[in-house]
Amino acid sequence: MRPNFIQSWQKVVPGIKEILKRMQEKTIIAIGIAPYTRIIPSLFLQNYQIYSVKDTADLDVLRKYATIFCLEEKFPKVAPKIHATNYLLGNYAFQAFLKSRRSPFKLMFYQTTPPIVKKLEEQHLEWIGNRPESFQEVFLKGSFREVIKKLGLPHLEDWRIGREEFLSKTCEELLSHWNRPVVVQRADFDVSGEQGTFFIKTQGDWEAMHNILSNDTRFTEIQMSPFIEGDSVSMLGCITHMGVLTSPLQLQLIDVPEALHGQLPTGVFLGHDWGFHPWEEKKQKEAQIIVEKVGEFLAQKGFLGIFGIDFMYDAKTEEVLPLECNPRFTGALPVYSFMILQQNTVPPMEFFHLMAHLGIKENFDFEKVNEGLKQRLPVSHISLTPKGAYEMKLPLVPGIYSYSPAKKALTYKRQGAFLWELQDDSEFLIIDSVPRIGGRIIQNVPRLFKLIFPRSIATSSFAIQPEIGELITNLSNALRKGQTSPQDQELGPQAQEV
């Protein structure tokens, strides 16, 4: 695949060979909890490695395509204690790994924090990533909304009040503010998983939300917005020396009941569907302008490379309204990049992200690349949640599967990891952190592993086709068969990535 990629990309990136040579001057080691989301650069770089914390069945497949080191594989008692990258950087096992490197390297991070940067500088390590100060103004939901207003861009109405005042409000007072349901979020503290967003439609919703937020003292301000009927959508941006590249406007799958399998429906992101897009083409243009404006703002702060914007598409007004910014690689990757690679006309965004961070300012055909990055195929992916599955008892291996609705049977067909290995739209991939048999499944993370389809599966942001819903329900039930809740199970991190 590598020679074909380079030959095709040369049409829009004339200096591709020189760029790749410069990218490989030092080994790039991508750091993360799991390897699959970091696999793309291994398809065009030889001097690229991945260091993952979790030992999952994916490693058996992905090591055919990339050099992958795994902490849990060698130190099974150490890995569960690593809940964030700054802990990893200070760990003796990881330090020993770094000292064993025989050639110059750079560590690659999808998102940094002040403690991470501090440890990197203390250890005099070279690294690829954005400094926290470059994205601090968009990182929190409340501050991002202020940036959007300052830039004169379309935005949702909002109501921001202090924590104590909010907790004194009744359900009736919240619902009467706009005479419609209300979306509640912490304005000044980021929470991942199932307790970050609350949809208040009933007294029961209010009571569940109030119980959680009254016991959380980490935030001081609440942001509320009117509930919008419509689809949740997003768009990727990539800040380069030639401008801000953008992806297509992509449907997000949120709170799909079959995938949640009992987890609270509080805006849990589960996947995307690039084949389902019920909006007019001009809506994508409107979203693109917003992403470009935010990208220009971030560029002024020193931010480089990939970021994402989440929007709400209001079905009544047909407005595309920005909700939050993710100054990092988002959940659209790597599947979005697989879709781009399958068409094989332009490099994926990860290529331009590396160009930006390595200071490579070779010119490329910006317009053709930007156009190529918006070409969509009917591709989708959806994740299962781990709630209620405590130990991996199902002998499930990563690879290519098919499903028979008549027999309600899931059939393993062969090994595989990428879209182009699927022969037709009856096949799909199960991959991305599939636990090994007997492995412990951490509960308070939003996603377990994912299913990737070479076709559309959505009927809206919140619903999928019945056949796919049945597949996910049956798979989820099989994962939970014979499970017993361990009373002393150790809680995991709030998110799967570090």
Topology adopted by domain 2-132: Rossmann fold (3.40.50)
Averaged pLDDT, groups of 10, the chain, 498 residues long: 74 96 97 95 96 95 96 93 85 95 96 94 97 96 95 94 96 96 92 77 94 93 94 97 98 96 87 95 96 98 98 93 96 97 96 98 98 98 94 96 93 96 96 95 88 98 97 96 72 42
Q: Compute φ and ψ for 240, nearest 5 degrees.
A: -120, 175
List the chain domain ranges.
Answer: 2-132, 157-226, 230-372, 380-480
Instruction: Give pLDDT, residue 5.
Output: 85
3 state SS for the chain: CHHHHHHHHCCCCCCHHHHHHHHCCCEEEEEECCCHHHCHHHHCCCCEEEEECCCCCHHHHHCCCCEEEEHHHHCCCCHHHCCCHHHHHCCHHHHHHHHCCCCCEEEECCCCCHHHHHHHHHCCCCEECCCHHHCHHHHCHHHHHHHHHHCCCCCCCCEEEEHHHHHCCCHHHHHHHHCCCEEEEECCCCCCHHHCEEEECCHHHHHHHHHHHHCCCCCCEEEEEECCCEEEEEEEEEEECCEEEECCCEEEEECCHHHHCCCCCCCCEEEEECCCCCCCHHHHHHHHHHHHHHHHHHHHCCCCEEEEEEEEEECCCCCEEEEEEECCCCCCCCHHHHHHHHHCCCCCHHHHHHHHHCCCCCCCCHHHHHHHCCCCCCCEEEECCCCCCCECCCCCCCEEEEEECCCCEEEEEECCCCHHHCCCCCEEEEECCCCCCCCECCCCCCCCCEEEECCCCEEECCEECHHHHHHHHHHHHHHHCCCCCCCCCCCCCCCCCC
Burial 279-315 (b: 16+ CB within 10 A, else e): beeebbebbbebbbbbbebbbeeebbbbbbbbbbbee
Instruction: Give pLDDT, residue 489.
Output: 47
CATH number of 230-372: 3.30.470.20
CA distance 322 to 309: 7
CATH number of 157-226: 3.30.1490.20
Instruction: Give pLDDT, residue 493.
Output: 42
